[in-house]
């Protein structure tokens, strides 16, 4: 028996890049090199001038191409990350009552933001146990359906489809899904995310792809008597975004890294390319776990198993937290499960930047650790 602190995984087994975190996530070396090359004329310059505004324009046009947006769809952005966007949505996207599909930490947070907003009716919440996902049900009194493309806390993905017969807006939290999972833009009105996951940048920004119906909703609520703090005012964000700006100062490095990642996706074949990389990694991870004597995919329905964030349970007697600790001591980081799920589990991000060979190497490294503990 060896102590976890001294176990050295053979170098030839180790992934070449040890970053498997679900956000912040791996940033490719080429993105950093591009930022360094542009730094003297880009970093430390005004976000109201052409250099930075053109970069924001690249992000907006790049997302338009990546998602194949129909005419009239617009890309909005602002500061504060996806969590901030939930609060903004309670002011300028939900008219009276929303329906939320909750199946983990993130989806539940938006539901509670809507419940706490004094100017809204209590939302309808449809829940499913961790490890599965619920289904939306169209109701006449619902003006916004809140879906989550990928529940990052549990590793469950769900297909994005308008609920049959629904007249309300469909707003999708795509924070960990966007860029790593396929999506049809005609099936949503708002597809929002932050860039520290599949888009391999830093946090603190939100982006929202909005359909014409969503833009109309923003404009009508902004013109209504509802009081809204300027920071959560989506009309302010819309007006600034149209000028390739944000309401207040954004992180310039974040925008640059994001623009590089979107260009990399588009230059290599678009969403089919980037989602394809995640799909290949997921095939490797789940096939390994299914064949393993001590590991099993946490999500029982194979169709619900996320291609971007994999959750793997470990058998009694194999302590996942010790495995994560040994991995970390060997430079393979952030494989710990979502803290509140409280399972004997590892959570492994397989965003497009992660090389599938590194996922295979991670599986081999885990086998080695279990064999040598």
Ligand X SMILES: *Cc1c(COP(=O)(O)O)cnc(C)c1O
- Residues at the interface with ligand X (CB under 6 A): 23, 81-83, 106, 148, 152, 173, 175-176, 194, 203
Residue number, 176 or 244, with CB nearest to ligand X: 176
Tokens for 113?
A: 């933001």
The smaller minimum CB distance to ligand X, of residues 80 and 168, is found at: 80
Residue closer to ligand X by CB (options 155, 297) is 155
Helix (H, G, I), strand (E, B) or coil at 178: strand
Q: How far is the CB of 133 from ligand X (least distance, A)?
A: 12
**Strand-strand pairing, 150-151 and 156-157:** antiparallel
CB of 77 to ligand X, least distance (A): 12
Q: How far is the CB of 49 from ligand X (least distance, A)?
A: 27
Angle ∠(285,286,289) on CA atoms, nearest 5: 90
CB of 173 to ligand X, least distance (A): 5
Shortest distance (Å) from residue 19 CB to ligand X:
16
Of the pair 158, 194, the CB lying nearest ligand X is at 194
DSSP state of 213: H
Give least dist CB 72 to ligand X, A. Answer: 26
CA distance 365 to 345: 16
Q: Is 190 helix (H, G, I), strand (E, B) or coil?
A: strand
Which of these, 199, 259, 271, lies nearest to 59 by C-alpha position? Answer: 259
Helix or strand holding residue 366 (H, E): helix 356-372
Strands 144-148 and 124-127, by their bridges, are unpaired
Q: Which is nearer to ligand X, 202 or 363 (CB)?
A: 202
Of 82 and 238, the one with the shorter C-beta distance to ligand X is 82
Whether residue 217 contacts residue 190, with contact meaning beta carbons closer than 8 Å, is answered with: no
């Amino acid at each position: 028996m060896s102590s976890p602190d001294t176990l050295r995984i053979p170098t030839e087994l180790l992934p070449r890049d040890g970053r498997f975190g679900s956000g912040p996530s791996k940033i490719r070396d080429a993105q950093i090199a591009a930022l360094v090359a542009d730094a003297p004329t880009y970093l430390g310059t005004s976000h109201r001038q052409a250099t930075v505004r053109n970069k924001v324009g690249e992000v907006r046009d790049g997302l338009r191409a990546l998602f194949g947006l129909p005419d009239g769809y617009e890309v909005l952005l602002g500061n504060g990350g996806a969590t901030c966007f939930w609060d903004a949505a309670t002011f300028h996207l939900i008219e009276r009552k929303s329906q939320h599909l909750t199946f983990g930490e993130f989806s539940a947070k938006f539901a509670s933001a809507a419940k706490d907003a004094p100017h809204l009716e209590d939302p309808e919440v449809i829940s499913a146990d961790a490890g599965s996902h619920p289904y939306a049900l169209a109701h006449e009194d619902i003006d916004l359906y809140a879906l989550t493309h990928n529940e990052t806390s549990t590793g469950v993905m769900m297909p994005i489809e308008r609920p049959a017969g629904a007249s309300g807006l469909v707003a999708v939290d795509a924070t960990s899904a966007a860029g790593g999972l396929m999506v049809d833009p005609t099936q949503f009105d708002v597809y929002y995310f932050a860039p520290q996951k599949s888009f391999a940048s830093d946090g603190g920004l939100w982006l929202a792809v909005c359909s014409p119906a969503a833009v109309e909703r923003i404009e009508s609520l902004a013109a209504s008597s509802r009081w809204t703090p300027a920071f959560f005012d989506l009309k302010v964000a819309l007006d600034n975004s149209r000028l390739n700006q944000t309401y207040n100062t954004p992180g310039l490095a974040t925008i640059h890294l994001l623009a590089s990642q979107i260009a990399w996706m588009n230059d290599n074949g678009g969403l089919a390319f980037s989602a394809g990389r995640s799909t290949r990694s997921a095939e490797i991870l789940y096939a390994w776990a299914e064949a393993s004597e001590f590991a099993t995919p946490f999500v029982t329905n194979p169709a619900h198993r996320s291609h971007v964030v994999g959750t793997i349970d470990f058998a009694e007697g194999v302590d996942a937290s010790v495995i994560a600790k040994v991995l970390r001591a060997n430079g393979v980081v952030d494989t710990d499960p979502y803290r509140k799920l409280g399972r004997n589990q590892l959570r492994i991000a397989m965003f497009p930047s992660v090389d599938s060979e590194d996922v295979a190497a991670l599986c081999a490294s885990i086998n080695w650790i279990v064999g040598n503990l």
